[in-house]
Amino acid sequence: MDLSFSHEEIAFRDEVRAFIRDNLPADIRAKAGRVAHFDKADVVAWHRILDARGWAASHWPREHGGPGFSPVQRYIFMEEMLRAPTPEPLSFNINMVGPVVYTFGSDAQKARFLSRIRSLDWWFCQGFSEPGAGSDLAALRTSARREGDEYIVNGQKIWTSTAHVADWMFCLVRTDAAAKKQEGISFLLIDMRTPGITVRPIITIDGAHHTNEVFLDDVRVPVANRIGAENRGWDYAKFLLGNERTGIARVGLSQGRVSRAVSLACGIEGLDGPLTDDHGFRRRVIELEIELKALEITALRIIDRQRRRNDGRPDPASSVLKLRGAETQQASAQLLLDVAGRLGAPLDADLAALGGGFAEAQGAAAIHLGARAATIYGGSSEIQKNIIAKGILGL
């Protein structure tokens, strides 16, 4: 039994840390930890820097342009980026559509899409949820009718984050209305410039335009852009959602927020002196630290188990990581805003004009408000509990 990383793994961690230190552009570093979402330009810029190093697709196998990291290296790599923090490699491309293309795509599709997905030349968004298909994703109704070598797609997608800046959308559509609901779904790649696509912004409570509604109105999609077999899309979607779940706890992100909350608290005086002396504050920090430590070890245990099993199947125990990970992201964001106090009030204002204290607390409100979505997206906490109850406990 040994929880510590090997010398090689520690050397790798130091290498990643040094790479981030030496290569993360100063303007992106300045925003780090102060924004809920990085701009597309920042994500692309950092992604290209990683790609030049061969690290953009950290968990892809070597033959598809990945670095050939071990499961532990992947974990270390992601955590170092979250801890810095840097923009993350675009999950839609790297964690989701890329592995689907190299696992289920044709040779022609691999040749056309893979390197562009990896390099972020083509930015993908995810066309899964619909107004009537949220947690019950298989209830989706967007239809794709075959006409020669094209599908005619009609319907509406929602919560389509980054659709307004995306080049492509990977999309679940219904190709057989008569089949059982999981069995009539296909997986299409849709060029966002295709006529008939309308993207409408959804402004979230953090004031951001990050997500959208996407309307599809007689959108013509070549059959050649269907991944895998017709009506097997649900299998690919399940693969996609189960892929690379060990990073979803995002412990480093929460750790970074706690660190920022503590350093912010160091400069704040309250009724009984420095906030860092306040018993209640200290206890919240400590309790979060404990929870994050447990989560980190749980992630390592799941990685270790996968490494030994080596069948690539998703582990239902990773629902623990999503569940507790999202909760600690929220708790750490809440702590940050609580420390900021009323200096955390501005969401989007000229902070330099307001004064230094406001600048110190920059982003606290947006991060807190943005974090509320963490227990909702990517399978809500309630869905994760369903997975545990059914998949693990057999209830």
Q: Which of 244, 269, 287, 289 is catalytic?
A: 244
Of 144, 249, 158, 247, the residue nearest 186 (C-alpha): 144
Among 300, 347, 354, 376, binds other proteins (CB under 8 A): 300
Q: Tell me the three state secondary structure of residue 216.
A: strand
Residues 319, 323, 327: CA angle, nearest 5 degrees:
165
CB of 299 to other proteins, least distance (A): 9
Q: Which helix (H) or strand (E) holds 200?
A: strand 197-203
291 touches other proteins by CB under 8 A: yes
Least distance (Å) between residue 294 CB and other proteins: 4
Contacting other proteins within 94-133 (CB under 8 A): none
289 catalytic residue (yes or no): no
Give which of 162, 210, 135 is closest to 380, Cα–Cα: 135
C-alpha triplet 152, 155, 161: angle, nearest 5°: 115
| 115 Cβ contact partners less than 8 Å away, ≥ 6 residues apart | 65, 121
x/- letters, 317..346, toward other proteins (CB under 8 A): x--x--xx----------------------
**Please, which of residues 55-84 interact with other proteins by CB under 8 A?**
72
Cα(38)–Cα(283) distance, integer angstroms = 31
Please report how close the Cβ of residue 3 comes to other proteins at its closest, in angstroms: 5
Residue 280 touching other proteins (CB under 8 A): no
| Interaction of residue 293 with other proteins, rule CB under 8 A | yes
Q: Which residues pair with 198 in a beta bridge?
A: 215
Residues binding other proteins: what is the number (CB under 8 A)? Answer: 50
The 10 Å Cβ neighbour count of residue 2 is 5
286 binds other proteins (CB under 8 A): yes
DSSP element (H, E) containing 147: strand 143-147
Can you tell me the distance from the alpha carbon of 261 to that of 276, in angstroms, rounded to the nearest whole number? 10
Query: Residue 213 or 289: which CB sits closer to other proteins?
Result: 289
Candidate segments 24-32, 175-183, 233-241, 299-307, binder of other proteins by CB under 8 A: 299-307
CB closer to other proteins out of 156 and 306: 306
Q: By CB under 8 A, what part of segment 303-322 binds other proteins?
A: 304-305, 308, 317, 320
Residue 170 pairs with which residues in a beta bridge?
A: 126, 189
Place of tokens 């930890």: 33
User: Whole-angstrom Cα distance, residue 374 to residue 246?
Assistant: 16
- Cα-Cα-Cα-Cα torsion 95, 98, 100, 106, nearest 10 degrees, comes to -170
- Which part of the chain contacts other proteins (CB under 8 A), choosing from 112-120, 245-253, 270-278, 366-374? 270-278
- The number of beta carbons lying within 10 Å of the beta carbon of residue 382 is 12
Nearest CA-CA partner of 261 in 281, 287, 237, 242: 281
Asked if residue 287 lies in contact with residue 345, where contact means CB atoms within 8 angstroms, the answer is: no
How many other CB atoms sit within 10 Å of the CB of residue 68? 12
Residue closer to other proteins (CB basis): 309 or 313: 309
By CB under 8 A, is residue 268 in contact with other proteins?
no
The single residue among 58, 73, 126, 298 that binds other proteins, judged by CB under 8 A, is 298
283 touching other proteins, by CB under 8 A: yes
The answer to whether residue 384 forms part of the interface with other proteins (CB under 8 A) is yes
Pick one of 259, 338, 341, 354: the residue that binds other proteins (CB under 8 A). 259
Q: Does 266 bind other proteins (CB under 8 A)?
A: yes
Q: Is position 6 an interface residue for other proteins (rule: CB under 8 A)?
A: yes
Is residue 191 within 8 A of residue 202, CB to CB? The reply is no
Interaction between residue 223 and other proteins (CB under 8 A): no
395 binding other proteins? (CB under 8 A): yes
Binding site for other proteins (CB under 8 A): 1-6, 9, 72, 255, 258-259, 262, 266, 274, 276-277, 279, 282-283, 285-287, 289-291, 293-295, 297-298, 300-301, 304-305, 308, 317, 320, 323-324, 382, 384-386, 388-390, 392-395
Q: Which residues are catalytic?
A: 244
